[in-house]
């Protein structure tokens, strides 16, 4: 059981990182970013290319996965979402736009990266014994890095001027503009931060699981499960949702035949949403 | 009287509805002027146009010798204009402290920000008691204090107030009225006050404009308007 709990911890911390990225975009832009999983996948390939193809250190690739996928998000906001949102007010339109972007990015990735599964050399060697369970050192490193990134993000959102303005913008855009905030700049930055986190989680997880161009859709679906469990638009809910899903998944894989796990998780989430449609912590974030 | 602020022939439309149809007004440095009139007379639309939240259809807006219409709210705030919007529009899920600090978003002088924050908390001791609470959990009057304090944190030279007395207990309205007078007198901030509470508006301001369906129906020194029979009948209840 300790082994299962440790696995849940590994999966949970990285899932939390994924859910935080999608939550930031949802809160500040009211956009449901269906392309989040594809951005995650691109982040994985960025690390693969820098680390394996160009022979640069893994950590350098990880920083680049944040920067490159973050800039991709800024471009998406500036050239896709903003012009569309200026013209139409209906939410379905941005959802369709996000879905279209997902399909586009996945097809483009297939052309550019090919269909092969790609991985990187282990970031750390050896096995650590923890509470009687055995865990590869690489996974411990991933947990620690993901936890540090979550802490850094929460500190940024909670205690910096820009973080405060992002929270304000999520609550009332006009009132935020009246404080002298340039909404155009901040929206693009917030979008880039959210997608950058997707890239970062993809880049980090390529150290444990390999990446392939089709990996995005499953990640997007899991990300939505997490924010539905935790509560859409709440940062703490995103973290909680990540851990809950990580736990359910790890326990499920340990006890049940593989394909049953997500069938049961979906049933649990559907029943849960009937009782609590806003998730565990459903309220706007702040 | 030098006109620090002026509007010339302003028109504002929402789709096909013309809310403001050719309004001109001026405010001198350190003056309080008020706009009074019924719901839908165009008062809020004028304020929205000044801050750049709504782009004017035509007309000019001048502040400190510079034309500011067509600029975005962030640039207008940077030039020293702050607004307390109708309904307060505080950030409900943020602490009182974070709300006040949002007002200082464009300022770089951290020491000045800290001392101004301290000044506002001294002026409104209730906010000091609730500094860590979520602003949405405060009473209407306390929220209005947060909104006023937030606007002042940007160190404005022109303060726009949209219905500061709306939905607030009379005892707090008096406190807010005293506050408006004191920031005008002590800090030299010019004020444009939009109010349905015409009695309060005429008392606080030196000059007033009466708006009817998007046009200025009457204007003059506030103490004269307060004695005008038409104004008394229409806006002061006899």
Identify the pLDDT of residue A45.
96
pLDDT over threshold 50, residue B189: yes
Of A172, A177, A179, the CB nearest to B103: A179
Residues B110 and B167 occupy one common structural domain? no
pLDDT classification of B238: cutoffs 50, 70, 90: low
What is the residue whose two structure tokens read 């956009």?
Answer: A31
Domain containing residue B213: CATH number: 3.40.50.300
Query: Which residue would you say has higher pLDDT here, A61 or B38?
Result: A61
Residues B185 and B165 occupy one common structural domain? yes
Q: List the structure tokens of A167.
A: 């929270």
Residues B107 and B216 occupy one common structural domain? no
**Mean pLDDT score of chain A, rounded to an integer?**
90
Identify the pLDDT of residue A36.
96
**For residues B76-105, average pLDDT:** 95
Residues B74 and B185 occupy one common structural domain? yes
* Edge-first strand listing for the sheet containing B158-162: B81-84, B158-162, B190-195, B32-37, B207-212, B215-221
**For residues B219-224, average pLDDT:** 93
pLDDT over threshold 70, residue B2: no
How does pLDDT run across A170-199, given as a tens digit for each residue?
999 999 999 999 999 999 999 999 999 999
List of chain A residues whose C-beta atoms are within 8 Å of the C-beta of residue B98: 164, 167
Counting the structural domains of chain B, the total is 2
Q: Is residue B7 part of a domain?
A: yes
**For residues B47-63, average pLDDT:** 95
How does pLDDT run across A237-263, given as a tens digit for each residue?
899 999 999 999 989 988 888 788 888
Residues B129 and B160 occupy one common structural domain? no
How does pLDDT run across B116-131, given as a tens digit for each residue?
999 999 999 999 999 9
Q: Is residue B85 part of a domain?
A: no
Show which residues on chain B lie within 8 Å of chain A, measured between beta carbons. 51, 53, 72-74, 77-78, 82-83, 85, 89-94, 98, 101-103, 105-106, 134, 150, 154
Report d(CA A173, CA A171) in Å as an integer. 7
- What are the structural domain ranges in chain A? 2-214
Residues B170 and B228 occupy one common structural domain? yes
Q: How many CA atoms lie within 13 A of B217 on its CB side?
A: 18
Percent of chain A with pLDDT over 70: 99
The angle at the Cα of A162, spanning A160 to A168, to the nearest 5 degrees, equals: 105
Q: What pTM was computed for the model? A: 0.90
pLDDT over threshold 70, residue A6: yes
Q: Which residues form the domain of B134?
A: 91-155
Tell me how many residue pairs between chain A and chain B have CB atoms under 8 A apart: 69
Residues B147 and B185 occupy one common structural domain? no
Report d(CA B53, CA A184) in Å as an integer. 14
Identify the pLDDT of residue A202.
95
Query: Which residue would you say has higher pLDDT here, A277 or B113?
Result: B113
List of chain B residues whose C-beta atoms are within 8 Å of the C-beta of residue A286: 91-94, 134
Report d(CA B103, CA B119) in Å as an integer. 14
pLDDT classification of B1: cutoffs 50, 70, 90: very low
Query: ipTM for the complex?
Result: 0.92
pLDDT over threshold 90, residue A162: yes
What is the residue whose two structure tokens read 């502040």?
Answer: B63
Percent of chain B with pLDDT over 70: 99
Examine the fold and report which residue of B124, B155, B186 is the final residue of a domain before the chain moves on: B155
Residues B75 and B170 occupy one common structural domain? yes
Identify the pLDDT of residue A83.
92
Q: Does A178 touch chain B (CB under 8 A)?
A: yes
Residues B102 and B140 occupy one common structural domain? yes
Length of chain B: 238
DSSP sequence for B178-191 = HHHHHHHHHH--EE
Q: Which of B87, B17, B57, B217 is nearest to A175 (CA)?
A: B87
Contacts of residue B120, defined as CB under 8 A and 6 or more positions apart, other chains included, come to B100, B127, B149, B152, B153
Of A167, A180, A283, the CB nearest to B78: A180
pLDDT classification of A284: cutoffs 50, 70, 90: very low
**Mean pLDDT score of chain B, rounded to an integer?**
92
pLDDT classification of A283: cutoffs 50, 70, 90: low
CA distance to A209, B153, B156, per residue, from A118 (Å): 9, 53, 57
List of chain A residues whose C-beta atoms are within 8 Å of the C-beta of residue B91: 167-168, 171-172, 175-176, 286
Report d(CA B228, CA B208) in Å as an integer. 12
**For residues B22-30, average pLDDT:** 93
Examine the fold and report which residue of B114, B130, B155 is the final residue of a domain before the chain moves on: B155
Report d(CA B117, CA B150) in Å as an integer. 9
Residues B114 and B138 occupy one common structural domain? yes
**For residues B193-204, average pLDDT:** 91
Helix residue spans in chain A (DSSP H): 2-29, 36-48, 58-76, 82-87, 91-113, 137-159, 161-171, 173-177, 183-205, 215-230, 235-255, 258-275
pLDDT over threshold 80, residue A161: yes
Q: What does the radius of gyration of chain B's CA atoms come to, in whole angstroms? A: 17
Q: Which of B133, B135, B129 is nearest to B148 (CA)?
A: B135
Of B53, B72, B105, the CB nearest to A179: B105
pLDDT classification of A286: cutoffs 50, 70, 90: very low
**For residues A262-276, average pLDDT:** 88
How does pLDDT run across B150-159, given as a tens digit for each residue?
999 999 999 9
Q: Which of A156, A158, A199 is nearest to A285 (CA)?
A: A158
How does pLDDT run across A112-132, given as a tens digit for each residue?
998 888 988 888 888 888 777
* A242 close to A13: Cβ distance less than 8 angstroms: yes
Residues B75 and B160 occupy one common structural domain? yes
* B235 close to B198: Cβ distance less than 8 angstroms: yes
Lowest mean pLDDT, pick from A119-133, A262-276, B4-18: A119-133
Examine the fold and report which residue of B107, B129, B155 is the final residue of a domain before the chain moves on: B155
Q: Is residue B27 part of a domain?
A: yes
The helix-helix angle for B96-103 and A161-171 (nearest 10°) equals: 100
Residues B192 and B95 occupy one common structural domain? no
Identify the pLDDT of residue A132.
79
Which chain B residue has its CA at the smallest distance from A186's CA?
Answer: B74
Q: Is residue B86 part of a domain?
A: no
**For residues B3-9, average pLDDT:** 92
Residue A6: strand, helix, or coil? helix
């Amino acid at each position: 059981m300790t082994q299962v709990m440790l696995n849940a911890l590994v999966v949970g911390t990285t899932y939390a990182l994924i859910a935080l990225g999608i939550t930031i975009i949802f809160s500040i832009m009211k956009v449901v970013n269906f392309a989040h999983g594809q951005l995650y996948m691109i982040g994985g390939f960025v690390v693969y290319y820098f680390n394996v193809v160009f022979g640069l250190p893994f950590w350098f690739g990880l920083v680049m996965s944040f920067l490159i996928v973050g800039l991709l998000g800024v471009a998406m906001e500036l050239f896709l979402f903003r012009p569309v949102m200026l013209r139409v007010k209906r939410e379905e339109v941005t959802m369709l736009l996000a879905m279209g972007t997902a399909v586009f990015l996945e097809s483009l990735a297939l052309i550019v990266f090919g269909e092969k599964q790609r991985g990187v050399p282990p970031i750390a060697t050896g096995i650590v014994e923890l509470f009687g369970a055995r865990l590869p050192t690489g996974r411990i490193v991933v947990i620690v890095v993901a936890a540090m990134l979550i802490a850094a993000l929460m500190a940024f959102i909670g205690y910096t001027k820009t973080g405060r303005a992002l929270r304000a913008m999520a609550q009332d855009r006009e009132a935020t503009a009246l404080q002298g905030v340039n909404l155009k700049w901040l929206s693009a930055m917030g979008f880039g931060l959210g997608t950058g986190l997707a890239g970062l989680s993809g880049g980090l997880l390529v150290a444990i699981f390999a990446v392939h161009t089709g990996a995005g859709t499953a990640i997007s679906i899991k990300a939505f499960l997490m924010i539905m469990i935790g509560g859409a638009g709440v940062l703490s809910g995103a973290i909680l949702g990540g851990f809950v899903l990580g736990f359910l998944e790890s326990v499920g894989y340990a006890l049940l035949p593989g394909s049953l796990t997500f069938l049961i998780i979906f049933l649990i989430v559907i029943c849960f949403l009937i009782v609590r449609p806003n998730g565990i912590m459903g309220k706007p974030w702040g | 009287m030098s006109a620090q602020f002026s509007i010339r022939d302003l028109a504002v439309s929402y789709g096909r509805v013309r809310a403001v149809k050719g309004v001109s007004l001026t405010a001198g440095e350190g003056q309080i002027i008020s706009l009074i009139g019924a719901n839908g007379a165009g008062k809020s639309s004028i304020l929205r146009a000044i801050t750049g939240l709504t782009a004017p259809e035509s007309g000019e807006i001048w502040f400190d010798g510079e034309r500011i219409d067509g600029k975005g709210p962030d640039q207008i705030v940077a030039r020293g204009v702050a607004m307390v919007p109708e309904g307060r529009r505080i950030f409900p899920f943020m602490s009182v402290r974070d709300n006040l600090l949002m007002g200082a978003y464009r300022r770089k002088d951290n020491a000045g920000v800290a001392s101004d924050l301290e000044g506002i908390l001294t002026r409104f001791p209730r906010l000091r008691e609730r500094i860590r609470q979520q602003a949405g959990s405060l009473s209407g009057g306390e929220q209005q204090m947060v909104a006023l304090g937030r606007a002042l944190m940007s160190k404005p030279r022109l303060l726009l107030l949209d219905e500061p007395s709306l939905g607030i207990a009379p005892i707090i309205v008096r406190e807010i009225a005293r506050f408006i007078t004191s920031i005008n007198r002590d800090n030299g901030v010019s004020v444009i006050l939009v109010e349905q509470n015409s009695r309060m508006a005429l008392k606080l301001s030196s000059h007033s404009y009466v708006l009817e369906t998007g046009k200025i129906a009457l204007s003059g020194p506030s103490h004269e308007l307060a004695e005008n029979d038409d104004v008394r009948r229409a806006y002061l209840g006899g």
